[in-house]
Amino acid sequence: NVIDRLWHGHVIDFLDFYYRAESCLPLFVRIGRNGGECHWPAFNLADSAITVGVVLLLFDTLRAHRETPASA
């Protein structure tokens, strides 16, 4: 992110989505002239990869703990 800010002046590795809906989820911004679009919170690809990795590590740890036989 620091390199992006220095090189481009802003961060570029994130996803930014808008969706059409009658009403937005709480805390989502309503945009457009008629308010027909909602802004899904932007998220960073690196942060998403770290989150997925941590969840997979936790899953693997719990699975390995369950498979370990109890000592007598």
Q: What does the alpha-carbon distance between residue 30 and residue 53 come to, in Å, rounded to a whole number?
A: 32
Q: Is 60 a catalytic residue?
A: no
Residue type (1 letter), 45:
L
Q: Which of 4, 16, 47, 60 is catalytic?
A: 47
Q: Which of 4, 13, 16, 60 is catalytic?
A: 13
57: tokens are 């590590």
Q: Is 47 a catalytic residue?
A: yes
Partnered with residue 43 across adjacent β-strands are 15
* Residues with a known catalytic role: 13, 47
